[in-house]
Amino acid sequence: MSFRFTLRQLEYFVAVGDAGSIAEAAQRLSISSPSISTAIAQLEDAFGIALFVRQHAQGLSLTAGGRRFYKAAQEVLESAGALHDVAGEISGAVRGPITVGCLVTLAPYILPELRKSFVDTFPDVSFRQEEAHQAALFKMIRRAELDTAITYDMEVPPDIEFEPLADFEPYAVFAPDHPLAQKRIVLMEDLVPHPFVLLDLPISREYFMSLFQAAGLKPQIAETTAHLSMVRTMVANGFGYSLLNVPSATALAPDGKPLVFRPVANASRTLRIGLITMRNDRKTSLMSAFEAHCRSWMDGMTSTGKAVDQAGK
């Protein structure tokens, strides 16, 4: 008996198995829902099995046979991906698919420009991206939904490898009329008497609070928000100062009001940015090329001072 199917159909099937819905899988893959529905129907018809149970309220769930088929499909896709790497090693070319994750607070400032420069350099690479919080990135790495991810070196579990790329110094953010905006450099103790707008995200929150704790200080937290753009806008509108590590290429808040960035001279530690992968995974030629490209790109970014643009103005 012969079966006619494509790797693209398997990719769509695995995406739905991961997402639990055709609509979510379509969004992740940036294709139409009918294309995915057709691919799954063709697989079910080719193999004569039901892969999903359709539940209107909860979306789709894999049947018992579908779960076995899902694992086999993953293995086929992994083997197919390895063929790209073998071909690349033989020809010396960098090609094939890569899926890269990025910490959600870093992604808007790093991922688009980094991605464009990489695919411009290696046009035979098919690049997909995901943005998520730290815990979700770890989960996706473990489930092989990502080849690698760009994130900070905090709370990295022992089964995941962290390859450092660059260190980001913390900097203080002020409205232009804030009393500390006139200083060229600020100290942690300078900040304490003033209202603090805290970026209230896992890892970010603990990191910024640890800077005060290491100095035996306690900040006056006036506002908290889980959105980086809101932090910048609230600071620009006079609700207080903030601390950030995220690179910035503009000294404007999202509402167009100006911001002033100042380095913090006595912060106890930097945040290190790097690539995470599963520990002991074989590094493919494509992954090696991406790592080298990231390192070069990060070196260029930090050497030009983009992380604290306008710091001395």
Domains along the chain with CATH numbers: 7-76 (1.10.10.10), 93-165+272-304 (3.40.190.10), 170-269 (3.40.190.10)
Say which amino acid occupies 267.
A
Q: Which of 36-45, 89-98, 197-206, 291-300 has the lowest mean pLDDT?
A: 89-98
Please return the burial class of 160, using the count of CB atoms within 10 Å of its CB with bins 0-12, 13-18 and 19+.
middle
| Coil vs helix vs strand at 241 | strand
Give Cα separations from 242 to 109, 114, 229, 263 (angstroms): 18, 26, 12, 12
Strand 260-263: give its sheet, edge to edge.
242-244, 171-174, 260-263
Looking at per-residue pLDDT, the higher value among 306 and 280 belongs to: 280
Cα separation of 130 and 14, whole Å?
16
Are 39 and 9 within 8 A, CB to CB?
A: yes
Cα separation, 170 vs 125, in Å, equals 34
Residue 68 has pLDDT above 60, yes or no: yes
Handedness of CA 175, 180, 182, 187 (dihedral sign): negative
Residues 106-154: tens digit of each pLDDT: 888 889 999 999 999 999 888 999 999 888 899 888 887 889 999 998 8
Q: Which residues pair with 242 in a beta bridge?
A: 173
On average, the pLDDT of the chain sits at 86
Say which DSSP state 268 is in: S
> Whole-prediction pTM value?
0.66
Please, what is the end-to-end C-alpha distance for the chain in angstroms?
A: 73
Q: Among the ranges 10-19, 50-59, 243-252, which has the highest mean pLDDT value?
A: 10-19
Question: Is there a contact between 176 and 306 (Cβ–Cβ < 8 Å)?
Answer: no
Question: Which of 159, 171, 134 is closest to 149 using CA atoms?
Answer: 134
